[in-house]
Amino acid sequence: MLASWRKMNPMLRREAIEGYISLTPWIIGFVAFTAIPIIISIALGFTEWTVTRPPRFIGLDNYIRMFTRDPLFVDSLRATLGYVAVSLPLKLIIGLGLALLLNLQIPGINFFRTVFYIPAVISGVAVSLMWIWLLQPDTGVVNTLLSYIGIQGPKWFWDPNWALPSVALMSVWRVGGASIIYLAGLQNIPAQLYEAAEIDGANAWRRFWRITLPLLTPVIFFQLIIELIDSFKVFTEAFVITRGGPLRATYFFLLYFYDEAFVNFNMGYASALALVLTVIILLTTVFVNYTSKRWVYYETE
């Protein structure tokens, strides 16, 4: 390798050196702020550490406790999986539907694209406070409007049966960010395909099913992975609005991790929880990636 480096064209060698120098700040940042903390967190998962005392190695005790003697682990995992099951399809379907509308060539469409994208960049805390105001059982805007047509609205965040669906519905508020990505994919589909299909007599539904959807599957696959990971990381809404209640209906995994780490100061156990969540997300992502071979269509294939 050293010999080939010496035989390299001086200009190419200089270009390679400049490239490595440009990468150095990122490499340093990745090692210092990502790689080393991950390694330390994995190691702490095998210890008992309550901040006030030095870490004490306890082997697999944290994981044995987690899977055999910890009902909060089961409750938090169940709540998180329930949230993923409800919010993920909503965000994917509504995001695609909104993108189809934003792809229409009508006057002022750029204004609407901007309006629908704005919620994606608003602070999660501000959004949570806004939804508390909207979904108040007695004085909230939503229940007030429902009362005008003779419908008694639910208690939303304050009802164990409605709390988790309410938080899942909140996630649709940020769907404008995903819609912009869908929109980019839609505008990348050649117009000639639609023209040929229209000449052949294909209606709007068949054009969507036979052209739009297949050519959009790479974008859908990307969004599925991103939204899946994001759904597992739900935290802010439950922390601000419900604090895991009522009856632990919204006691999500990251909220449980937060309580163990920064309320109970069980850093060792919290590190074990973080590793388990990482493994769950990793396995789920690998499974989705494996199934993509059957339904994702690439133009080069």
**C-beta of residue 272 within 8 angstroms of C-beta of residue 61:** no
What is the Cα–Cα distance from 64 to 218, expressed in whole angstroms? Answer: 40
Peptide bond into 37 cis (omega under 30): no
Domain parsing of the chain, residue ranges: 2-44, 71-295
Q: What is the spatial distance between Cα 17 and Cα 299, in angstroms, rounded to a whole number? A: 36
Q: Encode pLDDT of 157-216 as tens digits.
A: 999 999 999 999 988 888 988 999 999 999 998 889 888 998 888 888 999 998 999 999
- CATH no., domain 71-295: 1.10.3720.10
Question: What's the whole-model pTM score?
Answer: 0.89
Q: What is the length of the chain?
A: 301
Per-residue exposure over 34-69, b if at least 16 CB sit within 10 Å of its own CB, e if not:
eeeeeeebeebbbbbbeeeeebeeeeeebbeebeee
pLDDT band at 53 (very low <50, low <70, confident <90, very high): confident
Tell me what pLDDT residue 59 has: 92
Q: Phi/psi class of residue 212: alpha, beta or left (left: φ > 0; alpha: ψ in -120 to 50)?
A: alpha
Tell me the mean pLDDT in the region 41-53.
91
Q: What is the mean pLDDT of residues 89-101?
A: 93
> Which residue, 140, 177, 180, is CA-closest to 157?
140
Q: Is the pLDDT of residue 88 over 90?
A: yes
Q: Is the pLDDT of residue 9 over 70?
A: no
Question: Phi first, then psi: what are they for 105, rounded to 5°?
Answer: -90, 85
pLDDT of residue 6: 60
Q: What radius of gyration do the chain's Cα atoms show?
A: 25
What SS3 state is found at 57?
Answer: strand
Is the model's pLDDT at 24 over the cut of 70? yes
